[in-house]
A and B are shown apart, each in its own frame.
Chain A
């Protein structure tokens, strides 16, 4: 698959090191970690969307069997500092609502924690939590940004003048004058353009729900302080934040992300209220305390993203070259009480990357986010970008249809062709060959044959369609952008240790959650030292022994962290080579020394060899007669930073058949082409792509967080919040286009985070292509049969296309 002859281990479909234990049931997930006598917490969560808390009666709860303690917001508010704290506040011009881990005064969404019950046993804690009697006095429910922005709307956060939490223009500079000048300039382009399209889009509230819920467990000791086990993608950030909020020295806080985590996809990246309260309880009660989230709690609070509306105007030439783009984006922010992200950080990235991989010379993009009585938007894979990708890919097809051109040609015409390219929003598209990836995809699906079949079938009353979607997605984020976006650095870091028996260990401060670091990092270490991947061990996620890292997110692993591993390995390899040259009195440079098959030798004198283990032993255990200035030991911590962010490109093709009688549709084929640069493990890349596509399909077709008119969330079980099952989705075919990234030592690009992005565009474009005879365009998600059926029904009420349906019925 990866025809890269430079490598022996990199690029090979190596079977994962993780899987022996995981297939045997020996994984160590959060829920599997036990501390004897740990107390169990259960949260009482608000059953109202917006209400004053009149009273909370906990007397019966305190008397219940096994109960050790009960806390409400009033109990903690003078003992625990509220957020925001600087460590979890981005450098963005937003508002940051004050909040404690438990609601104080008011509840602002259905599911907000109101009280916590601590008991000796989880069953008893749940029984006791049922006895907490909360009296609410309802306030008007604000259930959408449209309601939230209405003059006279109830103000959700005390002391605010309105419900706007964030508002910014992403084009035209930083002053009102320059922004207005840009607005006028784009308006002039629109006024003068031969082709102008105006469309409105809406993407529902959905996200990526990990199968393993969250959990926090903490112990307190006077000597060592707090030790916390948290389901988290970023243990080092949690540690800093916990120390700050609990007013402890950082030396008194150790955070451990469990070795095995049951998926994250962004949902385990925020600094959640529960991550503050459980450690505080352990410290306050001086007992080990444990909280394991239920699925109902998870669906009430976590993984709710997307939820953006776009008003789009595109100006184009008669040939279909886009000249300008105007976007007014509005996001339903939820309550915004979520450390690091505050709801709006996701739509911010969505707005910044709205032009995606297209060369759109002038843009006017503005975003406004409004607080509503829902949980805060929280990160989900395709972070903030899922709605924007849908929008831009739909616009490509609508433009193609308007001009009667091939949608592939429209994309080819508009894709960025030379690099680096700075988008109108300031995004730095570093490298790649986007047209090649699109062409690779197109050539693998035989479009002419499909078009012929489509025509034949239409004559028989059957409707098949093909849709394309593309996207540039982040491969980690350089500090240059990440410091501003999340007030955190972007560099990767890793420690590599070699022991005296020639075995290697990698220490990584990030926290993978199914993302295969143990295997891919081991491949890189094995490659560099010419040893077996069996002799490489990767340890992650413990702040006590790993170098600082911002966490496993945004596809950082395959670009930043793995590059730090490479840098650390190369340092050690060069040191070993120097000492080998010295010991053998060779007239050679370190680059002349090969590491292969467990031996070290000069490239031109292969028999003059020493085993890797023996050389390691000599440097660690027998550090005598070293070269002048050389030190003993084989351990290195190194870093990788990119000057500017890196992106990877993917193109997707979706084939459907739509059944007009019912509005149902079937995906008959789904093919992708991804450019991850140098692929470290093609099996793993394929798995990432397939999983990401299915998440995108599941979001686009099936999943939706639904609220009733009072703000009650109706989708708090997997019966109601429908995830894609195996029979719901097709096999996903994965193809590749390789253009090594010039900015990383291996040429790799992190891939995975953004995979769902191009999916809704490809899917809906396919359905609209199938229904082209009926002139149906769909700009809202989710895409469901009932919606298609209604649109067809409306069409048939007025149109002449009826004979076609008769034909379909006759089938």
Chain B
């Protein structure tokens, strides 16, 4: 067996030091080693379903397409770290309000992708939201409520920024 790799990373704001087999996928590391089971697996580690999406240095990435060792020295945010200061992220609130999930299996990956997306596009059109969702499969909702929730969350964030300014 190949030598294990040891690395340090910041995960949901916490410094983590870990030693794993070099072939450990990031998604398995998050789920099996750290118990962060909000990140899901829906395809055969092929990067199609998007249920495993997390953020690496604020950019949405598919954690089944990365090895755990690749996060060495970087920051990872998972759905468990999305809420700030005890209140839900506007996307989490909007997803609840718009009934944007049914089984919820795809939801964490969509939240992590969309929180990156609306950070870069604060007033997206519905077509832009749909295009940005191309890497996330949802089998239950038909996407309509998801688009509505993302649109509403973007509005809420913009309104909050406006009020703060």
**CB-defined interface of A685-712 with B at 8 Å, one 1/0 digit per residue?**
0111011111100000000000000000
* In the bound complex, CA of A684 to CA of B103 (Å): 12
> A683-B99, A719-B48, A725-B137 in contact; A212/B142 too (CB < 8 A)?
no
Determine whether B16 belongs to the interface, using a CB cutoff of 8 Å to chain A.
no
Residues of A within 8 A of B36 (CB): 25
Number of interface residues of B (CB under 8 A): 57
Residues of A within 8 A of B137 (CB): 211, 718, 723, 725
Residues of A within 8 A of B147 (CB): 726, 731
> A24-B80, A211-B51 in contact; A691/B141 too (CB < 8 A)?
yes
The B-contacting residues of A in range 663-686, CB under 8 angstroms, are 683-684, 686
Contacts A24-B82, A211-B49, A727-B130 aside, 11 further interface pairs with beta carbons under 8 A come to A23-B92, A25-B38, A210-B139, A514-B102, A683-B99, A684-B99, A687-B102, A690-B141, A718-B46, A719-B46, A726-B131
> Shortest Cβ distance from B32 into chain A, in angstroms?
9
> A514-B102, A726-B129 in contact; A687/B141 too (CB < 8 A)?
yes
> Shortest Cβ distance from B42 into chain A, in angstroms?
4
Determine whether B146 belongs to the interface, using a CB cutoff of 8 Å to chain A.
yes
> Shortest Cβ distance from B156 into chain A, in angstroms?
15
* In the bound complex, CA of A295 to CA of B136 (Å): 15
Residues of B within 8 A of A15 (CB): 96-97, 99
**CB-defined interface of A712-731 with B at 8 Å, one 1/0 digit per residue?**
00000111000101110101
Residues of B within 8 A of A723 (CB): 137, 139
> Shortest Cβ distance from B153 into chain A, in angstroms?
11
Contact B133 A211 (CB under 8 A): no
The A-contacting residues of B in range 35-55, CB under 8 angstroms, are 36-44, 46, 48-49, 51
Nearest residue, chain A, Cβ from B104 = A22
Residues of B within 8 A of A684 (CB): 99
Chain A interface mostly: loop
The B-contacting residues of A in range 719-751, CB under 8 angstroms, are 719, 723, 725-727, 729, 731-732
> Shortest Cβ distance from A211 into chain B, in angstroms?
4
Determine whether B9 belongs to the interface, using a CB cutoff of 8 Å to chain A.
no
Determine whether B19 belongs to the interface, using a CB cutoff of 8 Å to chain A.
no
Identify 19 residue pairs between A and B in the complex whose beta-carbon atoms are under 8 Å apart, listed by A's number. Answer: A16-B99, A20-B96, A23-B95, A23-B104, A24-B88, A27-B38, A27-B104, A212-B42, A212-B105, A262-B104, A514-B140, A686-B99, A687-B102, A693-B142, A726-B130, A726-B138, A726-B146, A727-B130, A729-B142
**CB-defined interface of B124-165 with A at 8 Å, one 1/0 digit per residue?**
001101110111111111111111000000000000000000
* In the bound complex, CA of A695 to CA of B143 (Å): 11
* In the bound complex, CA of A258 to CA of B40 (Å): 15
Nearest residue, chain A, Cβ from B24 = A123
> Shortest Cβ distance from A659 into chain B, in angstroms?
18
Determine whether A549 belongs to the interface, using a CB cutoff of 8 Å to chain B.
no
Residues of A within 8 A of B143 (CB): 690, 694, 725-726, 729
Within 8 Å by CB of A25, from B21, B106, B108, B138, lies B108
Contact B133 A263 (CB under 8 A): no
* In the bound complex, CA of A494 to CA of B42 (Å): 32
Contact B38 A211 (CB under 8 A): no
Determine whether B63 belongs to the interface, using a CB cutoff of 8 Å to chain A.
no
Within 8 Å by CB of B139, from A20, A32, A209, A727, lies A209
Contact A690 B142 (CB under 8 A): yes
Residues of B within 8 A of A22 (CB): 101, 104, 107
* In the bound complex, CA of A19 to CA of B1 (Å): 43
Determine whether A29 belongs to the interface, using a CB cutoff of 8 Å to chain B.
yes
For the complex of A and B, 7 pairs with smallest distance between CB atoms? A25-B38, A514-B103, A262-B105, A22-B104, A694-B142, A690-B142, A25-B79
Contact B103 A296 (CB under 8 A): no
> Shortest Cβ distance from A755 into chain B, in angstroms?
9
* In the bound complex, CA of A136 to CA of B147 (Å): 50
Contact A211 B78 (CB under 8 A): no
Residues of A within 8 A of B95 (CB): 19, 23
* In the bound complex, CA of A43 to CA of B91 (Å): 39
**CB-defined interface of A502-532 with B at 8 Å, one 1/0 digit per residue?**
0000000000011110000000000000000
* In the bound complex, CA of A31 to CA of B37 (Å): 8
Within 8 Å by CB of A23, from B46, B107, B136, B145, lies B107
Determine whether B111 belongs to the interface, using a CB cutoff of 8 Å to chain A.
yes
* In the bound complex, CA of A718 to CA of B95 (Å): 25
Contact A25 B103 (CB under 8 A): no
Number of interface residues of A (CB under 8 A): 56
Determine whether B83 belongs to the interface, using a CB cutoff of 8 Å to chain A.
yes
* In the bound complex, CA of A294 to CA of B42 (Å): 8
* In the bound complex, CA of A211 to CA of B83 (Å): 25
* In the bound complex, CA of A20 to CA of B101 (Å): 11
* In the bound complex, CA of A727 to CA of B138 (Å): 12
**CB-defined interface of A63-75 with B at 8 Å, one 1/0 digit per residue?**
0010000000000
Contact B80 A25 (CB under 8 A): yes
Residues of A within 8 A of B1 (CB): 65
Determine whether B74 belongs to the interface, using a CB cutoff of 8 Å to chain A.
no
Residues of B within 8 A of A731 (CB): 126, 144, 147
Determine whether A107 belongs to the interface, using a CB cutoff of 8 Å to chain B.
no
Residues of A within 8 A of B142 (CB): 687, 690-695, 729, 732
Residues of A within 8 A of B33 (CB): none
Residues of A within 8 A of B31 (CB): 31-32
Among B41, B101, B142, the most chain A Cβ lie within 10 Å of the Cβ of: B142
Determine whether A261 belongs to the interface, using a CB cutoff of 8 Å to chain B.
yes
Determine whether A238 belongs to the interface, using a CB cutoff of 8 Å to chain B.
no
> Shortest Cβ distance from B2 into chain A, in angstroms?
12
> A690-B145, A693-B142 in contact; A211/B42 too (CB < 8 A)?
yes
* In the bound complex, CA of A732 to CA of B146 (Å): 12
Within 8 Å by CB of A19, from B80, B101, B139, lies B101
Residues of B within 8 A of A262 (CB): 40, 42, 103-106
Determine whether A802 belongs to the interface, using a CB cutoff of 8 Å to chain B.
no
Residues of B within 8 A of A65 (CB): 1
* In the bound complex, CA of A26 to CA of B37 (Å): 7
**CB-defined interface of B2-24 with A at 8 Å, one 1/0 digit per residue?**
00000000000000000001010
Determine whether A18 belongs to the interface, using a CB cutoff of 8 Å to chain B.
yes
Residues of B within 8 A of A19 (CB): 95-96, 99, 101, 104
Nearest residue, chain B, Cβ from A687 = B99
* In the bound complex, CA of A729 to CA of B137 (Å): 12
> Shortest Cβ distance from A235 into chain B, in angstroms?
17
Nearest residue, chain B, Cβ from A33 = B37
The B-contacting residues of A in range 451-492, CB under 8 angstroms, are none
* In the bound complex, CA of A26 to CA of B82 (Å): 12
Determine whether A208 belongs to the interface, using a CB cutoff of 8 Å to chain B.
yes
Residues of B within 8 A of A294 (CB): 44
> Shortest Cβ distance from B91 into chain A, in angstroms?
8
Nearest residue, chain A, Cβ from B103 = A514
Determine whether A383 belongs to the interface, using a CB cutoff of 8 Å to chain B.
no
Determine whether A639 belongs to the interface, using a CB cutoff of 8 Å to chain B.
no
Nearest residue, chain A, Cβ from B42 = A211
Nearest residue, chain A, Cβ from B94 = A23
> Shortest Cβ distance from A652 into chain B, in angstroms?
13
Residues of A within 8 A of B135 (CB): 725
> Shortest Cβ distance from B90 into chain A, in angstroms?
11
Within 8 Å by CB of B134, from A26, A29, A514, A727, lies A727
> Shortest Cβ distance from A21 into chain B, in angstroms?
8
Nearest residue, chain B, Cβ from A209 = B139
Residues of A within 8 A of B79 (CB): 23-25
* In the bound complex, CA of A339 to CA of B58 (Å): 47
> Shortest Cβ distance from B148 into chain A, in angstroms?
9
Nearest residue, chain B, Cβ from A262 = B105
